Structure 1
């Protein structure tokens, strides 16, 4: 079979799968899978509030137990050198609290041994310790001393609540309430985890914690000077934190559609006196329940849904592969996307006051938290319809204006908000502070935005926004030629986004930056023709090979080469051959995370990616080099 025949066969196979999997509302609801943390937290939530949903609890126990390693730990990804301490604590706690697993079972003794050998509860990350404090297993005084008054700090203050990213704020607002009240809720079934303390210390953390405490104390003192009634100030701050949450609840009851923020909000509302009979509490808990999805024989609680993201990408790549915009599957998908364009103002307007809403969010029920990547993906999908249907033209115009307005002053694009990049906040004594608290310009967002403008709009390379964006990419290229991608794994992803973005404005391998990046990609191609990158790259902040190829990483690398090459090359053809030959393979590489939320703590397996990116790469190859 020739390469051309193989491409045709594989493109048609993937198209048929995607058409089959479209849901009734026109979207694709492929799973957004994130390990066992959400499953563990859900068990603990249900048991803490004595909601005895035994079928759900038993199903989650099965999934958690089934992911345990031989040494008793739980890992974040396949090739991690050893288990993850925080994940193991979460799993151990949830299994015990479920009531279906005993401490005396060999697997639990092995888990306990692993936890203690790795520093005990003391070495857990901040949010695991917070979970433990909320449920009576840890002391609040040992956690980050963030005063609730911070929510009242003026925007002119060296540090204020809105210096944190919108994702950070969604989680910090309920944390402020819980910490203020030193909230603790136990039941007669609460396990005793006191035997998981190793009595160790973390000197570096304590030192940073002390510096952070001194800064916040000085700012807190400034606020006290503004009033002679500190108690009134605290009450005002509590009210402000409560209102921040309540004003950002999505139609399904979740806080900005995130599991973690909703989980914390439920406990925070309880601390404020809300009972389980309150409709808001009921709706929030049910919102988390509705995140449940079946994966094979297991049930998983998703961190969020990814329907808008999946649908925008799939509708676009189907059209790229030759499915006409008039086809029913595209019409339904784009109708769904049109209904999901935002009309409400979100927090993004605080630093972007002169722009109307026009973006798209990530999940199916997101209405006030749009992001640049979903916006450009949705506009790619509806592009063809703007010429024939006025309502799509209006959506297009609003979307373009919103995306342009989101460009940072440094020339790059962030995910959610402009100007949220006080780099010193990354020194906060919170694991993943850089990811939780900041929303800087990134190579992946900047590259993909440039690719959209170059290939789908009339904007030319002399437009100030484009010149600034390309300049940002060139200034942020690493010495080895790669770029770091914030929301994917990791350097292959970032390099693909940067190369396709610059190629959309005429850059080719003649350009030194492009050539350097292409040389780097070429140097890391595997003998089988594919590419693969480890999640360790994200932790070590340098490229770490996976040693095995994945469909997604291969598709990104091949698509990058296609974008910057005038003719097909051996590395392109070897990569395409890999995508054809391995398209139907079923092994651990298909489930390996290709996205990340926080280095060392939160990785994402997109079930849609094995179809989306190979289809895009093969379609682009066929059009550019086969003339089809």
Structure 2
């Protein structure tokens, strides 16, 4: 039999070869990014809205929607927000409508089950705001079902309680063309004249409580009254003022249309811009918007779905760390060289409103999104360039450092796209029933920025690092974990912070570190792996870990092992068992896959499955373990 070292070497070699094989000729990697049923369903409806129906594609999307339909105790016939999840009303309404408009009979067993579940949960009238707007655009619900968000908001000055600069980048890009649509109220072409009256618990004319609680705070009733006032007053707004707002919204959208990568490079914004340009009769910009949407489609032999966006920079930067750790020198160089020209050094995006004088220097998440670079991507990409050690990357690293420092919020932490974007009262307006209107600083992004700055080791950055560490001390959960905003969930947050604390030189016997490692070890499963599902973001008390009933995940096991190694526990039995799990779960191709969703767009609302996570995180964990076992000090020397 092979010795333990030889088995580890073989596992690393196979995983490295598999990852290198997936690298594209120009050096980058980009994996599928899967969400729930809502975006494929919305894409189906978009084609019917425009009467540009690709029948073979629609049938493949139908196959996808039928496959992911729920069929278990907590979801008997509806659609979940993540694999194996509970019934979600809004996703189910959209998926049902999409299947019906594709041609599925309402009497088909899968449709009858879905309809029964929808009605049992209050019917389509209780779906979220975005779903009700979608229905209104098809004439399948009245516009009274939707909250009032006057397009005049684009004209409001900074002192006004609600302005577009006060909400997150994704909210800005989604809402600006959407406000045009709610102002003009166009109706879908809907050539098959398909509606879903059967999803409402009563005739729509009898519904008087479209917008109601339960409210998240005392702000809710206040904003409900304000919505009622605006509903009466809006028809009397000065016409010239409305036209000025419409013109500004159109110009704002065109400036950020972003070519083939689309408005904000995210699906809802792209679709809203396409419908806006369609209504305007602006074919040139409409074609650009539709072209960007087509790039998001994943079309296979029997199925198809639409991604929420593309993740090439994130995938390439993360995979680059696995490649460099595993010794794939040429592949790492190719990845770094691909990243360099995608750093945004010229466009001063919306982020600059709160940090005037800071020069651009970040990377976007997608192929191209110059107005909206991502702080997290920038830290991970720049750490990779720094590790690569080529002097030609020095200027790029310097500009990334300058931008990251300029993006630190006043509480010492970092958000994903903006600074101090934390006016929480805005999450209580009727439009924000998803609770994700903002981009506040978070533990995981803060950890990555600390890791980057600490890895560079510049003494003048120490005050920024210390402010970030103070924030992390204050946000540690009572059980020792940290919340993970952009990855599922407490495992992700805790791994991220432990890496940052190690890079920043926080002692391994610091109580903060010891509580975190004790928590991680306590969550290891009998098979040696770790697994946490998206219910950790659900209705349970804050900090409550929710494990999969019978499943450890390669990506989350890798996070936990990397976090423990960063905390100086490379020799701990938990790490050894985690490494053994990764070796045992490696597939015949030398890589890993997982059905479970492993990330989050908006907690409790929108979840993601990065198909690349189980491809590169286990390789990073195995390679780091090998390096530490061969060293004398067992010290992780990098921030990531």
- Matched ranges for 1:189-338 at <5 A: 189-199=192-202, 203-205=212-214, 210-215=221-226, 230-252=238-260, 254-271=262-279, 273-274=280-281, 278-294=283-299, 297-324=302-329, 327=330, 329-338=331-340
Q: Which residue of structure 1 aligns with residue 102 of structure 2?
A: 98
Which of the residues 341, 344, 358 maps onto 2:343? 341
Tell me if the contact between 1:508 and 1:565 (Cα under 8 Å) persists in the aligned partners.
Answer: no
Say which SS state the counterpart of residue 531 (structure 1) adopts. coil
The alpha carbon displacement at 1:3 in A equals: 3.8
Greater displacement, 213-222 / 446-455: 213-222
Q: Which residue of structure 1 aligns with residue 409 of structure 2?
A: 408
Q: Which residue of structure 1 aligns with residue 79 of structure 2?
A: 74
Paired with 1:394 and 1:439, the residues of 2 have a C-alpha distance of: 29
Q: Which residue of structure 1 aligns with residue 454 of structure 2?
A: 454
The alpha carbon displacement at 1:349 in A equals: 1.1
Structure 2 gap segments, 5+ residues each: 633-640
Paired with 1:43 and 1:567, the residues of 2 have a C-alpha distance of: 49
Tell me if the contact between 1:386 and 1:396 (Cα under 8 Å) persists in the aligned partners.
Answer: no
Paired with 1:133 and 1:222, the residues of 2 have a C-alpha distance of: 20
The alpha carbon displacement at 1:304 in A equals: 0.7
Paired with 2:166 and 2:531, the residues of 1 have a C-alpha distance of: 36
Tell me if the contact between 1:427 and 1:433 (Cα under 8 Å) persists in the aligned partners.
Answer: no
Tell me if the contact between 1:48 and 1:190 (Cα under 8 Å) persists in the aligned partners.
Answer: no
Q: Which residue of structure 2 aligns with residue 624 of structure 1?
A: 628
Shift in alpha-carbon separation, 1:458–1:346, aligned structure 2, 3 A: same
The alpha carbon displacement at 1:585 in A equals: 8.2
Q: Which residue of structure 2 aligns with residue 486 of structure 1?
A: 485
Greater displacement, 472-481 / 57-66: 57-66
Q: Which residue of structure 1 aligns with residue 420 of structure 2?
A: 419
Shift in alpha-carbon separation, 1:585–1:509, aligned structure 2, 3 A: farther
Give the length in aligned residue pairs: 613
Say if 2:191 is the partner of 1:180. Answer: no
Paired with 1:613 and 1:375, the residues of 2 have a C-alpha distance of: 18
Say which SS state the counterpart of residue 533 (structure 1) adopts. coil
Greater displacement, 212-221 / 5-14: 212-221
TM-score (norm 2): 0.91
Paired with 1:56 and 1:570, the residues of 2 have a C-alpha distance of: 50
RMSD of aligned residue pairs (Cα, Å): 2.6
Say which SS state the counterpart of residue 409 (structure 2) adopts. coil
Shift in alpha-carbon separation, 1:322–1:138, aligned structure 2, 3 A: same
Say if 2:22 is the partner of 1:21. Answer: yes
Say which SS state the counterpart of residue 304 (structure 1) adopts. coil
Paired with 1:256 and 1:465, the residues of 2 have a C-alpha distance of: 29
Paired with 1:386 and 1:56, the residues of 2 have a C-alpha distance of: 46
Paired with 1:296 and 1:449, the residues of 2 have a C-alpha distance of: 42
TM-score (norm 1): 0.92
The alpha carbon displacement at 1:21 in A equals: 0.8
Say which SS state the counterpart of residue 549 (structure 1) adopts. coil
Paired with 1:106 and 1:572, the residues of 2 have a C-alpha distance of: 48
Shift in alpha-carbon separation, 1:452–1:583, aligned structure 2, 3 A: farther
Say which SS state the counterpart of residue 450 (structure 2) adopts. helix
Greater displacement, 197-206 / 282-291: 197-206
